[in-house]
A = this chain, B = another copy of it.
Amino acid sequence: MDALNVKHYMEGIGRAARAASRETAKASTAAKNGALLAMAKAIRDSRDALLVANAADVAEAKANGLEAALIDRLTLTAKGVEKMAQGLEQVAALADPVGEITDLKRRPTGIQVGKMRVPLGVVGIIYEARPNVTADAAALCLKSGNAAILRGGKEAIRCNQAIAACVRAGLRAAGLPETAVQVIETTDRAAVGYLVAMPEFVDVIVPRGGKGLIERISKEARVPVIKHLDGNCHVYVDADADASMALKIIENAKTQRLGTCNTAESVVVARRVAAAQVPAIAKMLMAKGIEIRGCAETLALVPNATAATDEDYYTEYLAATISVKVVADVGEAIEHINKYSSGHTEAIVTENYTHAMRFLREVDSSSVMVNASTRFADGFEYGLGAEIGISTDKFHARGPVGLEGLTSQKWIVLGNGEVRD
């Protein structure tokens, strides 16, 4: 496709999505759930075809020298196909958020004023290698009454198109327009540029991928973007922490998985307990192969640690490295975290009520925890059923974004002929 054709193609996709969004917005819960279950069946029935398409994608990616981590994300297994189908069934089982009326209150004038939850309209999702996002994103957008335009990575194009066919089959089976979920067929990069700059057709963009992708899209976008940036997460060990709980939480938060956004990248310790706890924490982490980069006080307590630079405290390592900082008290811990954190998730370990409440209130991150591992910051763990991403923005949606983040609330007024004085 040349540039003019890409523009024309994307406008066609946009126009069809806008029209479909009017149908999905008023679709019954039964129709939406019927479509999701039919998609799950189509995906199970197409298992072999999906694996063949994916194998072709993987072969080409390998031939092109794609790095191992990306190949890993790209690869779909029979178990992965089953998980995709189950994911669709799980979204079908969630309560329908659309049309929910809340906070209805009678005013002195006689009118009743409340809010009704409604879809955003058309959601554009831009993602990289993982083909399962195609099914997950389609499910969340449809259940929340939106139409979706999906743009996957070019490495996954064959498998994404095969999944798209299953999604369309499900929509058709339920009598919903097939254009309710469209997967962009061109791998031309210009398509993304058009997708994020059509406010007349697209209401919000959700980029899922690396920092580079998200920054580029935020810069180009002419519609709101639900951003998922770094996860530079902290665990603060308070002077009144239970020492064994702190050790257990840090172990889980840092070492359960090194490469996730809710992994802890920094430990902050209150001075009063530093001499007792920093060596124990460092020993546990180093036994698991984690390198320690510490402040001067940490270095005095942990001979094998290296000195942390200011840059270290800002860093999301996504690797076997952690920074350690000793602070005076909970106040300095909050200051340190609010300065260096990316605003994703932070935890305090403490038995002190006032410190816990102060940390909860004053730490300015999308998730703030007391006596729990940062690894819990996740849509499934929070009970959202599924998530489309984790927002590090304060606007609209914050933290794990599920069905609710893909909706808005309008005001409704129920009257009996009232007029204003």
Contacts and interface: CB of A to CB of B under 8 A. Distances in A.
Interface string A110-136: 010100101011000000000000000
A361 B26 contact: yes
Contact of A382 (B107, B361, B375, B410): B107
A399 interface: yes
A411 B419 CA distance: 40
A53 interface: no
Contacts of A419: 248-249, 251-253, 256, 372-373, 375
A76 interface: no
B361 A413 contact: no
A206 to B, nearest CB: 13
B417 A248 contact: yes
A45 interface: no
B369 A412 contact: yes
A396 B395 contact: yes
B394 A408 contact: yes
A409 interface: yes
Contacts of A26: 361-362
A380 to B, nearest CB: 10
Contacts of A178: none
A366 B245 contact: no
B381 A410 contact: no
A198 interface: no
Contacts of A362: 25-26
26 contacts: A22-B338, A109-B376, A113-B382, A113-B383, A116-B360, A116-B368, A203-B395, A224-B395, A242-B417, A248-B419, A249-B417, A252-B420, A256-B419, A347-B413, A364-B410, A368-B413, A369-B414, A369-B415, A370-B415, A371-B414, A371-B417, A371-B418, A372-B414, A373-B415, A376-B415, A382-B411
Interface of A: 22, 25-26, 99, 105, 107, 109, 111, 113, 116, 118, 120-121, 203-204, 224, 242, 245, 248-249, 251-253, 256, 338, 347, 360-362, 364-373, 375-377, 381-383, 394-396, 398-400, 408-420
